[in-house]
Amino acid sequence: MNYKNALNHTIFKVISEAAKDLNLDAYVIGGFVRDFLLDRGSHKDIDIVAIGSGIELAKAVSRKLPDQPKVQIFKTYGTAMLPFEDLEIEFVGARKESYNENSRNPVVENGTLEDDQNRRDFTINALALSLKESTFGDLLDPFNGVKDLEDKIIRTPLNPDITYSDDPLRMMRAIRFATQLDFEIEKQSLNAISKNNERIKIITNERIVVELNKILESKTPSKGFLLLEQTGLLKHFLPELTALKGIDEIEGQKHKDNFYHTLEVVDNISEHTDNVWLRWAALLHDIGKAPTKKFSKKVGWTFHTHEFEGSKMVYHLFKRLKMPLNDKMKYVQKLVFLSSRPIVLAQDEVTDSAVRRLVFDAGDYVDDLMTLCAADITTKNPKKFEKYHNNFKIVRDKIIEVEERDHVRNFQPPITGEDIIKTFNLKPSREIGQIKETIKEAILEGDIPNEYEAAYELMLETGKKLGLKIHEKR
């Protein structure tokens, strides 16, 4: 087959000519070819394999381009990167690889195109298009990758057991591609992943997280997490999630399986947001349930304070996986911490003061919190489902109403500590905190409006109750 039309961009002509000058063959390989055949939109990372020096080819290509873009050379890997327009073109010499037990970094020798295709992870990633003048656009597909694209199958070119054991990151990649593309992993491959799952331990957490993020960013992330769980991979890096698996039953009372519930929530939320951190919050919103699970005869299964435990666990989990310990982490923590609030609210009559407290506590995250909590409604009881969603609509409307009137989203107390000190001539003391707290509570309860005048009066009244003397009136 010929796919000249995949190579319309001028850069391919330039690479072809530069290769001819150097008297070597070059091919486009990997994701670019795969995504072209899948019609997934243009792939901005282009991988070029040269039968010879990839670095020399990159330099020769640069010399032929108008501004001669600077080639970045990665000596240790024998690769070079050339930025051109919005493209990043990676050059590598064809290679043959052999692995040893303890590292995913192979011993590398120069090789043929076939050797290079053999070292690729999946048949669909080993497709190459020729850049040679005489065969420009010809497809080289030694492992029937096109058929696997049509059949939607992830398969390794060589023995999967060896492929995954050699570089265990490929297990994550298999599951990630299956999730992104909605493909199935071929049976032998799936068995080989299960068999080799322990080998994931030699992969750094950073690389695992890259794949996890791509799974989470997919249309239906549950597909990937189910595969990670089934193959035994998940427990190695997210034991907090696998701990949610299972249903306990005592005296005929059961709780739901919180692992499968969680995956439903993640899929639900993915229909409403592309924010990967909000998706992380959905994934982690119930992790505090495993350590807080209790049974009592009176009330059955409880998970008291699981939101608080869960938010603490988020920190440890991010730290362990070397994820950023910044405002993204705090955002996830806060959403986990507040994740039960709106549903508790929606179970009863929705009061102004409860909504005001919610807005006060969630601040700018209140909209995302509502998205999370709507996704959390996975009840199969249609009456409850409707009731919760209707109540959520009331909560959402009230959030807007309360916010317009009371401005508590980023609450700044109308009376400051300074005001209190001056009025009663106080040294820093407990009473200042007490007065501030009383004013804040009164505003959130709706007893007074969020305004200076009313807050001032309440300050005087509270001070009097605490036995304080007015020193200076405003």
**Best CA proximity match to 110, nearest among 55, 158, 33, 71:** 55
Q: What is the DSSP letter of 122?
A: S
Binding mask 302-331 for ligand ATP (x = CB under 6 A): ------------------------------
Residues 142 to 181 in contact with ligand ATP, rule: CB under 6 A = 167, 169-170
DSSP structural state of residue 426:
P
> Least distance in Å: CB of 221 to ligand ATP?
16
Q: Report, in Å, the least distance between residue 68 CB and ligand ATP.
A: 25
Structure tokens belonging to residue 102: 């303890």
* Choice from 120, 356, 398, 440 touching ligand ATP (CB under 6 A): 120
Phi, psi of 24 (to 5 degrees): -135, 165
Q: For the CA atoms of the chain, what is the radius of gyration?
A: 30
Min dist CB 141 to ligand ATP, Å, is 13
Q: Tokens at residue 13, please?
A: 């002509």
Of all residues in the shown chain, the one whose CB is closest to ligand ATP is: 31
**Count of positions on this chain that bind ligand ATP (CB under 6 A):** 10
Q: Which stretch binds ligand ATP (CB under 6 A): 59-67, 117-125, 271-279, 299-307?
A: 117-125
The smaller minimum CB distance to ligand ATP, of residues 45 and 447, is found at 45
Task: Name residues contacting ligand ATP, limited to 125-144 (CB under 6 A).
Answer: 125
In the complex with ligand ATP, the residue whose CB is nearer, 79 or 423, is: 79
| Least Å from the CB of residue 45 to ligand ATP | 5
For ligand ATP, the closer of residues 48 and 282 by Cβ is: 48
Tell me the H-state helices in 167-305.
169-181, 187-196, 205-216, 222-230, 234-237, 239-242, 258-270, 276-284, 289-292
Q: What is the DSSP string of 315-372?
A: HHHHHHTT---SHHHHHHHHHHHTTTHHHHHHHS---HHHHHHHHHHHGGGHHHHHHH
Could you identify the residue written with the tokens 């769980």?
229
- Alpha helices (H) along 45-186: 54-64, 113-118, 145-151, 160-166, 169-181
CB of 171 to ligand ATP, least distance (A): 10
For residue 464, the surrounding DSSP H or E stretch is helix 452-465
Task: Please state the closest distance from residue 169 (CB atom) to ligand ATP, in A.
Answer: 5
User: Residue 71 Cβ, how far from ligand ATP at the closest point, in Å?
Assistant: 18
77/308 with CB nearer ligand ATP: 77
Kindly report the length of the chain: 474
Query: Within positions 28 to 57, which residues make up the interface with ligand ATP, using CB under 6 A?
Result: 30-31, 45, 47
Name which of 25 and 307 has its Cβ closer to ligand ATP. 25
Residue ranges in contact with ligand ATP by CB under 6 A: 30-31, 45, 47, 120-121, 125, 167, 169-170
